[in-house]
């Protein structure tokens, strides 16, 4: 048995390697972009500046992470809450509608949702957070519903028959059993949010999308590359973090 845990621990260490490595690369790129100047000069030999300097990369990264984190946390709370509510007896009437809505809603392209949010909510960071939150809800609701409904009915029956209360059933049985599927939904949601937040740079939210947009507008490929590199690294860091979390919960 100790041998088994030993293997597990070794595996765990290896699984932590990927997120740590990506995060290190991300931070390194943020801090050391200036020293790659020579490389970017190759791409843009004629431009005056080849490293984006209108804002610090770390600040842009921080804003990006902040927007995505706030929207995703709210989406998790609301999404899991809504899915749990409509699978309880009191909310069951709303289940078909919510399930349908979550699956229809996912055919809406995130860009279109972001674009439609602007006329309603205006420019800036808050509208983006709201748009990300709304769109990010869908995969979470859908997966939470799938996770809860995928539980063997015998397990729920036995739990109730043994005298578990509704809250005990939810906390000790349903949520733990649905956790892997819920987590997969959160992963999808966060991935989409990171991408959509970058596009949010066009509606006035300053984040890692800025260098790309600015590079496209000014015809400076080096800026585009810097933004793209950082967003890509951020996405891979977060995704590998989720990949690390996933198996421990199953």
Contact 210, 60 (CB under 8 A): yes
| Interface with another protein, residue 154, by CB under 8 A | yes
- State the binding string over 45-84 for another protein (x if CB under 8 A, else -): ----------------------------------------
| Interface with another protein, residue 152, by CB under 8 A | yes
| Interface with another protein, residue 157, by CB under 8 A | yes
* Residues contacting another protein: total by CB under 8 A: 63
DSSP 8-state class, residue 55 = S
| Interface with another protein, residue 216, by CB under 8 A | yes
Contact 249, 183 (CB under 8 A): yes
At 160, is the secondary structure helix, strand, or coil? helix
Of 37 and 165, nearer to another protein (C-beta) is: 165
State the residue for tokens 């005056």. 48
| Interface with another protein, residue 94, by CB under 8 A | yes
H helix count then E strand count, the chain: 11, 0
State the residue for tokens 């004629």. 46
| Interface with another protein, residue 115, by CB under 8 A | yes
CA distances from 141 to 86, 94, 135, 150, 172 (A): 10, 13, 11, 14, 20
| Interface with another protein, residue 107, by CB under 8 A | yes
Where in 159-188 is the site for another protein (CB under 8 A)?
Answer: 159-165, 168, 173, 176-177
Compute the distance between CA of residue 43 and CA of residue 76 in angstroms, rounded to an integer. Answer: 41
Where in 28-47 is the site for another protein (CB under 8 A)?
Answer: 43
Provide, rounded to whole angstroms, the least separation between the CB of residue 182 and another protein.
Answer: 14
Phi, psi of 163, deg, nearest 5: 95, 25
At 88, is the secondary structure helix, strand, or coil? coil
Where in 188-207 is the site for another protein (CB under 8 A)?
Answer: 191, 194-195, 198-199, 202-203
Counting every residue written for the chain, the total comes to 250
Q: Give contact residues for another protein (rule: CB under 8 A).
A: 1, 43, 92-94, 96-97, 100-101, 104, 107-112, 115-116, 118-120, 123, 152-165, 168, 173, 176-177, 191, 194-195, 198-199, 202-203, 209, 212-213, 215-216, 221, 224-225, 227-229, 231-232, 235-236, 239
């Amino acid at each position: 048995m100790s041998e088994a845990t030993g293997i597990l621990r070794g595996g765990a260490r290896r699984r932590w390697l990927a997120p740590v490595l990506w995060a290190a690369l991300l931070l390194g790129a943020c801090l050391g972009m200036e020293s790659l100047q020579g490389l970017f000069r190759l791409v843009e030999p004629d431009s005056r500046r080849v490293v984006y300097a209108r804002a610090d990369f770390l600040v842009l990264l921080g804003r990006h992470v902040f927007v995505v984190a706030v929207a995703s946390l709210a989406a998790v709370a609301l999404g899991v809450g809504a899915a749990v509510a409509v699978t309880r007896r009191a909310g069951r009437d709303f289940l078909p509608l919510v399930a349908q809505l979550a699956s229809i809603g996912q055919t809406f392209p995130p860009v279109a949702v972001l674009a439609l949010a602007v006329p309603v909510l205006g420019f800036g960071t808050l509208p983006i957070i709201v748009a990300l939150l709304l769109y990010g809800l869908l995969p979470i609701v859908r997966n939470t519903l799938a996770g809860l409904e995928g539980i063997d009915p015998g397990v729920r029956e036995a739990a109730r028959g043994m005298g578990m209360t509704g809250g005990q059933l939810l906390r000790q049985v349903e949520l733990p059993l649905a956790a892997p599927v819920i987590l997969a939904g959160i992963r999808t949601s966060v991935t989409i949010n990171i991408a959509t937040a970058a596009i949010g740079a066009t509606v006035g939210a300053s984040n890692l999308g800025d260098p790309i947009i600015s590079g496209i507008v000014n015809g400076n490929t080096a800026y585009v590359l810097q933004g793209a590199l950082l967003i890509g690294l951020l996405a891979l860091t977060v995704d590998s973090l989720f990949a690390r979390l996933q198996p421990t919960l199953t």
